[in-house]
Structure 1
Amino acid sequence: MANIWTIMIYELRRLMKSRSMVLNMFLLPLVLIFLLGASLSGVMGDQPTPTIDKVRVAIVNLSAKGIDGSAMISEFLRNAEVRQMVVPVETDNRQAAESGLRSGKYGYAVVIPADFDSRVQSGGEAKLEFILGKNPTDNLVVETVFDNYLSTVNYRQAAAVTLGPAVLSAAAPVAAETASVKLGELGEKGTGYTSSQYYAVSMMLMFLLYSGLTVSTSLFNEKENHTLFRINSMPVKGSQLFIGKMLGVGAVTVLQNAAIIILTHLLFGVHWGDQPLLLALFCLLMIVASMMLSIIISMFSKTGAGARSVVSVLTVCMTFISGGMVPLPESFVNSIGAFTLNHWAMQAILRMMLHADVSTIMPHLGTMALICLVMISIAVAAYRKVGYHE
């Protein structure tokens, strides 16, 4: 056991002394996350939420008494919630309203029948005439506001017909009790993530896959520098050297992983969810899986360059297929992407960011654990068959 710890500490010192290694493992991931998150924010749709501008609405009362000619409409338009979206402007007649719509002076027009109040108070249906403007968004906003009002009035009228005239007083006047229009996003309840979150996960997992490349490089350096023969002449077993190197690289990778999570949160505001222990477990499983994959490849490769090439190609391919480079269709990611290592960890971490229920994440954890067990078994079998020697 002492030999394993000695080899691990030596490996740690060797890796941390290399400036290029430190830059590639700690600085490069942060740079990539920043660049991808900033440049591809439009792809993920995390743009600032737009605002609703107030719409100037021409009000035409056919009773020739202006807005005040209808007590119900006048009461409705004085409501604070309605005023946040509609600016009522009294006009003399329909022609003036239509002229203002054509010139862009008004965004919408509402024509109030002369008998609107009396019809409603006698139990009739509430109707208004709408004249659309040039802007579809303004039309939608104003239609929603007035349609909500008319629906409320007519609902109360139907109740009055059913329950009797005693409830007619509830229909007049009617004010907007709640906001008629609310601007929001489908993802604001935890169903969407930003580009910075997405690429923080994908780049972190890609660099965890690259940690296997460090293991492969370290193992072949001993062979290529002809130091493995001298180590084997000492009272050190090949398995001890093997395990010590893996632990050393694993410790550095854990530091790299923690640095990515902490620094992206502090610098870029990336929220990693509220399950830190579960997040750490997925990262640990990803490190184990990537190292086992690299070891299996190294056992059957004749040269270090060949092993590094295979690991690099597999890392890039798995990152792309799992949607790590650019968001891909779910049908593709969930079919072909499911055969990659980082797919299961990536989908689970993204769900953690969205505060998904733990029960939806546990299947991913079970799959990752099974993958690690299978790869550990293959790596052990490969070591027993091939061994680690010059």
Structure 2
Amino acid sequence: MNTWTIMIYELRRLFSSRSMILNMFLLPLLLIFLLGASLSGVVGDKGSSTIDVVRVAVVNPSGEGYESSAMMDSFLKSTELKDIIAPIMVESREAAESGLRTGKYGYAVVVPPGFDSKVQSGEAAQLEFILGQKSTDNRVAGTVFDNFLRSLNYKQSVAMTLGPEALNVMAPSSTSDQPTVKLGELSEGGYTYTSSQFYAVSMMLMFLLYSGLTVCTSLFNEKENHTLFRINAMPVKGSELFIGKMLGVGVVSIVQCAAIIILTNVLFGVNWGNRPGLLLLFCLLMIIASMTLSIVISMFSKTGASARSVVTLLTVSMTFISGGMAPLPESWVNSIGAFTINHWAMQAILKMMLHADVSQIMPNLGVLSLICLVLFSAAAISYRKVGYHG
């Protein structure tokens, strides 16, 4: 009974504080809005990409008993290439190289003499490519002509193995209607998270860690106001007082987490994924980790100011190292960032937003549960050794 009475009193005290309401509920929403709007081109979905038409110099010589390649001419006239490459016929390799140096062309293709006859006689289809100044143009044009050669060599192999009649059987199922170059997303199921989603996750986790400041303040208020002696003189066990205070802070943190999730979804359109149960579980584990870490720090700190300083330093450091403040290289986030608490929850929630399979999320759940178990054990041991008294 005493525990619930203390918890209710703690809730009344916390919710009557205007600074607590501002810091725990309004400040996270403001930061999510500002960061999500200002860094929309840096984090998450950067919008649809487009392919610029590449000017390709084509050297298709004739003479010395050879005709220009009809296969190449037919390929360059296909309608699917008009939005990808702009073929320009040039007389010689030297003219193509000169145009590449001046930036007139983005790519060059040299068709060897007798290309068609070599292909028809069973030799491998080969072209000479000369790269331009822009890597993007090289990738786009290279993909187009690599597909052309791959198609020729495949048909040639089929004809040599199964006979020319096999090509007629393959014709109806040809994939020529499909584009030569297609833009796509590498994220699973075509989903990708936006900057608002990214910073909603990172800021929520950061402020859940900041709930440790509330733990420190709650524990040291009674000491600094010299009311802990009077409370201990009452028929109230030290464990009841301690547990009641922690339950009060825990309830406030749960309300804060729920408010951030609901309000960001309603106000900013943040999609938190399709697994609300797992999302809630990760939030609860983060609250437990934050509170137990703050308990350990408070038990061994002499003043509330020193305890709050340590909690603030750890929160800011872990948020930055885990990549929650600014995009960091994946090698950094997955190596050094793995030693932070936020990392495991943040990566898991982002995967939920991408509608990833549960099997990809469970390792994060296991690691975060282990961290909570270690911190909870450390908090229990430190409380038994130091205790909560004046």
* TM-score, normalized by the shorter chain, greater than 0.5: yes
1:317-372 deviations in Å (ceiling 9; x for gaps): 33334343445555555555444333332333333334443234333323333333
Structure 1 Cα separation of the partners of residues 319 and 170 of structure 2: 61
Residue in structure 2 matched with residue 228 of structure 1 by the alignment: 228
In the aligned structure 1, how far is the partner of 2:355 from the partner of 2:346?
14
Higher mean displacement: 224-233 or 7-16: 224-233
Which residue matches 2:176? 176
Residues 212-236 of structure 1 deviation map (CA, whole Å, 9 limit, x = unaligned): 2102212222222233344344443
Partner of 1:245: 245
**Which blocks of at least 5 consecutive residues in structure 2 are unaligned?**
none
2:208 is the alignment partner of 1:208: yes
Which residue number corresponds to residue 84 of structure 2? 85
Conservation of the 8 A alpha-carbon contact between 1:109 and 1:131: yes
CA contact (8 A) 2:188 2:354 kept: no
- What amino acid is aligned across from residue 359 of structure 2 in structure 1? S
SS at match of 1:9: helix
Aligned sequence identity (%): 71
* Matching residue of 1:17: 16
Aligned CA-pair RMSD: 4.0
Return the letter of the residue paired with 1:262: I
Instruction: Give the deviation of 1:242 after TM superposition.
Output: 2.0
Cα gap change, 1:282 to 1:88, in 2 (>3 Å): same
Please tell me the residue identity of whatever aligns with 1:85.
I
Q: Tell me what 2:305 maps to.
A: 305
CA distance in 2, matches of 1:265, 1:26: 15
Rate the CA distance shift 1:94–1:21 in 2: closer, same or farther, 3 A.
Answer: same
CA contact (8 A) 1:121 1:171 kept: no
CA displacement at 1:270 relative to structure 2: 3.7
Quote the offset at 1:283 in angstroms: 1.1
Which amino acid in structure 1 is aligned with residue 285 of structure 2? L
Residues 93-112 of structure 1 aligned to structure 2 (within 5 Å) = none
SS across alignment from 2:320: helix
Specify the alignment match of 1:277 in structure 2.
277
User: Structure 1 residue 116: deviation in Å?
Assistant: 6.2
**1-structure distance, mates of 2:129, 2:344:** 53
Q: Assess if the C-alpha contact under 8 Å between 2:189 and 2:355 holds in 1.
A: no
Distance 1:343 1:103 in 2: 48
On the 8 A contact 2:37/2:196 being kept in 1, the answer is yes
Partner of 1:318: 318
Give the direction of change, closer, same or farther, for the CA distance of 1:120–1:248 in structure 2 (3 Å limit): same
Superposed CA deviations along residues 300-320 of structure 1, whole A, max 9, x for unmatched, are 333222222222223223333
Partner of 1:347: 347
* Bigger mean CA offset, 6-15 vs 283-292: 6-15
Measured against aligned partners, the alpha-carbon deviations of 1:192-214 in whole angstroms (never above 9, x if no partner) come to 75544443333222211111210
The 5 Å alignment of 1:16-55 reads 16-40=15-39, 44=43, 46-55=45-54
Q: Report the counterpart of residue 379 of structure 1 in structure 2.
A: 379
Q: Give, in whole Å, the separation in 1 of the partners of 2:203 and 2:159.
A: 63
Residue 255 (str. 1) matches residue 255 (str. 2)? yes
| 1:257 positional shift | 0.9
120-129 vs 259-268, which moves further: 120-129
TM-score by length of 2: 0.78
For the 8 Å contact 2:106–2:137, the answer to whether it is kept is yes
TM-score, L = length of structure 1? 0.78
Whether contact under 8 Å (1:29, 1:260) holds in the other structure is yes
Contact 2:215 2:291 in 1 (8 A): yes
| Cα drift, residue 245 of structure 1 | 1.8
